[in-house]
Structure 1
Amino acid sequence: MNTVFMHCRPGFEGEVCSEIAEHAARLNVSGYAKAKPSSACAEFVCTEEGGAERLMRGLRFAELIFPRQWARGGFIELPETDRISVILGHMADFPVCGSLWLEMVDTNDGKELSNFCKKFDAHLRKALIKAGKLVEDDEQKPRLLLTVKSGRELFLGLAESNNCAMWPMGIPRLKFPREAPSRSTLKLEEAWHHFIPRDQWDERLHSDMTGVDLGAAPGGWTWQLVNRGM
């Protein structure tokens, strides 16, 4: 539980390492950052007990620039069979979690694991609930985050549900409105998700407001504003 694992855009691994190392130094958390080029992930390995938790609790994830997602934990190797028993064995000291996300890194190799994750999710979720390690949809409890690197290796980690990404892997999953003129409308919607909690949209993005699109209007952003009644 002493490594902070972070997702990022491919090619930005170095920036993630620099950013997290700077914050760790400021918080007096000893350790080192490492990453492989174009791996879409980076790690900060803490060299003192409890360092990973202290680092994450000392930062607000939403204020970080380059990491898309993070979790504290460690890598585990999986056998070809009975993977779930191995995972449960490593979770003996884990708290009860309120949600489970299976993730993969944003690379071609990672995307090939998507089907495996979907199938494995259902079996693992059932086993975790039975073992008393998972209570669904409890935002007061930590989130269990598994990043599958292959069928034989994954990162098993935790993050506070209110201090990590709001989407798995930190990648927005927004549905393109059929009526919108261009996909640029999703950029504005993504910005709203980032800066304004979803349950405050009716209060802070209401029909009595005025919006100005300074781009190539009317386009996707204009449609998004009009759709909110502005």
Structure 2
Amino acid sequence: MDGLLCYCRQGFEPELAAELTERAAQAGIAGYARASRNDGYAVFASDDARIASALRWRELVFARQKLALIAELRGLDPKDRIAPMLEAMRGRGRFGDAWVEHPDSDAAKPLAGLARSFGNALRPALRKAGLLTEKENPKLPRLHVTFVDGDHAFLAVADPADSAPWPLGIPRLKLLPDAPSRSALKLEEAFLVLLDAREREALLKPGMAAADLGAAPGGWTWVLTRHGIRVSSIDNGPLRQHVLDTGLVTHLREDGFHWQPPRPLDWMVCDMVEQPRRVAERMAAWFREGWCRHAVFNLKLPMKKRWDETRLCLDLFAQKAGKPLTARAKQLYHDREEITVFATPRQ
């Protein structure tokens, strides 16, 4: 069975299905998407074996995780779910790890106990059948068993270089007691998901200068200061005092949509609540005018036609920026009705 299994935020299955369908068509790959509202996943069925390599995880906006399908198993006998799985994996070679999961949805969360216990039984059986290495090997493909019901599961494979490295595609981040707001987790997750390890090391250095547009109460500013970055925090609202006390923050009570820096900055971040097209155009102006080298910003999505609006805003940003940029966008775990974009000069 060729095709993809992708996880997403509950309620955004139609957006993920529309994205997979459009991106596959652009790659010249025939197929169709299957998704139901609130399931937490979508399937793109295709007979074209190129599908997994044509749609890259980093390039998908609404997919938390991207997996290549092996099989969909229905009517599993609770007394022996393992045998049909081993049969479906015959001739697949060895896996470097095996994860047993469930979608991040209200309906599937009760399956967490089954996933844990089944994983403990499955791994020894896989090793006995020669399908799983004795120790975790991150260089080999990773097996995913995704239960969507007690008798219904997908078998899929993750390429470690082209998939999320976290179970369910969700990084485990903890909100620290001194974080000014929960929005701090959005920027932390953005740096983890949208930048690779090399980029984080090169682009987040002490002594860099940044602007935080719409900064109050200071969650994103606080994250930047934890990297030793000096921040101009732009907002008419107040910042938390301990953020100002870092000595790295200058609070300017101005409108983030009109303020511009007196000199070029390394970073600009923006989490302002505004129409997404207006944000996209303003973010493009920052690159066009050379006011920043790198940026992370959020685009708040409408209630309807959210994939269409996403595509339109990303295209608008690219057109108006006036220079070649690499832009990556994701609906992060800590996002809600929005997506987060990282932009940097194209190498």
TM-score normalised over the length of structure 1: 0.88
Could you tell me which of 126, 129, 132 is aligned with 1:128? 126
Matched with 2:195 is 196
Q: Is the 8 A contact 2:3 2:52 kept in 1?
A: no
d(CA) in 1 for partners of 2:200, 2:29: 37
The answer (yes or no) to whether the contact 1:33–1:43 under 8 Å persists in 2 is yes
Deviation at 1:155, TM superposition (A): 0.2
Q: How many residues align?
A: 226
Separation in 1 of the partners of 2:64 and 2:80?
31
State the distance in 2 between where 1:28 and 1:203 align: 36
Partner of 1:70: 66
Q: CA deviation at 1:199?
A: 5.3
Runs of at least 5 residues in structure 2 that lack an aligned partner in the other structure: 230-347
Which of 1 and 2 has greater Rg?
2
Aligned to 1:213, the other structure's residue is in SS state strand
Q: CA deviation at 1:58?
A: 1.4
Partner residue, 1:57: 53
SS where residue 211 of structure 2 aligns?
Answer: coil
Q: Structure 1: how far apart are the matches of 2:156 and 2:171?
A: 21
Relative to structure 1, the CA distance from residue 204 to residue 214 in structure 2 (aligned partners, 3 Å threshold; closer, same or farther) is: same
Letter in 1 for 2:152: E
Partner of 1:12: 12
How high is the TM-score relative to the length of structure 2?
A: 0.60
State the SS of the aligned residue for 1:97: coil
Q: Secondary structure at the match of 1:149?
A: strand
In 2, the alpha carbon distance for the partners of 1:226 and 1:70 equals 33
Q: What's the CA shift for 1:226? A: 1.8
C-alpha distance in 1, partners of 2:36/2:224? 41
CA distance in 1, matches of 2:217, 2:105: 35
**In structure 1, what is the equivalent of residue 266 of structure 2?**
none
Give 1:64 deviation, angstroms: 1.0
Q: Matched residue of 1:212: which SS?
A: strand
Instruction: Assess if the C-alpha contact under 8 Å between 1:176 and 1:183 holds in 2.
Output: yes
**C-alpha distance in 2 between matches for 1:148 and 1:90:** 15
Q: 1:221 to 1:54 in 2, by over 3 A?
A: same
Instruction: Return the match for 1:97 from 91, 95, 101.
Output: 95
Contact 1:4 1:73 in 2 (8 A): no
CA contact (8 A) 2:145 2:154 kept: yes
Verify the 8 A CA contact 1:145 1:157 in the aligned structure 2.
Answer: yes
User: Following TM superposition, by how much is the alpha carbon of 1:118 offset from its aligned partner in structure 2, in angstroms?
Assistant: 1.6
SS of equivalent residue, structure 2 residue 107? helix
Q: What is the one-letter code of the residue matched to 2:172?
A: R
Deviation, 1:201, is 3.0
CA–CA separation in structure 2 for the residues paired with 1:57 and 1:202: 27
Distance 1:55 1:228, change over 3 A: same
Q: Secondary structure at the match of 1:113?
A: helix
Deviations 1:117-160 (A, max 9, x none): 12222221222233221224323211211111122110001121
Identify if the C-alpha distance between structure 1 residues 24 and 213 changes in structure 2 by more than 3 Å, giving closer, same or farther: closer
Equivalence for 2:154: 155
Displacement of 1:200: 4.7
Greater Cα offset, 147-156 or 137-146: 137-146
2:168 counterpart SS class = helix
Q: Is the 8 A contact 2:20 2:44 kept in 1?
A: yes
Return the letter of the residue paired with 1:169: L
Does the 8 Å contact 1:35/1:41 carry over to 2? yes
- How many angstroms does 1:170 deviate by? 2.1
Query: Structure 1 stretch 186-195 or stretch 75-84: which is displaced more?
Result: 75-84
Residue pair 2:32, 2:44 contacting (<8 A) in 1 also: yes
Query: Which residue does the alignment assign to 1:23?
Result: 23
User: What code does the residue aligned with 1:213 have?
Assistant: D
**Whole-Å separation in 2 of the counterparts to 1:18 and 1:149:** 21
Does structure 2 retain, via aligned residues, the 8 Å contact 1:145–1:156? yes
Deviation of the 1:102 alpha carbon: 1.9
Going from structure 1 to structure 2, the CA distance change for 1:131 and 1:25 (only over 3 Å counts) comes to: same
Match of 1:83 among 58, 81, 84: 81
Task: Tell me the distance in 1 between the aligned counterparts of 2:193 and 2:106.
Answer: 26
Distance 2:164 2:27 in 1: 22
SS at match of 1:164: coil
Give the share of equivalent positions with the same residue, in percent: 39
What does the per-residue CA deviation read over 1:173-214, in whole Å, with 9 as the maximum and x for residues that have no partner?
212223323222111111101222235534321212223322
Amino acid at match of 2:70: G
For 1:29 and 1:213, how far apart are their aligned partners in 2? 41
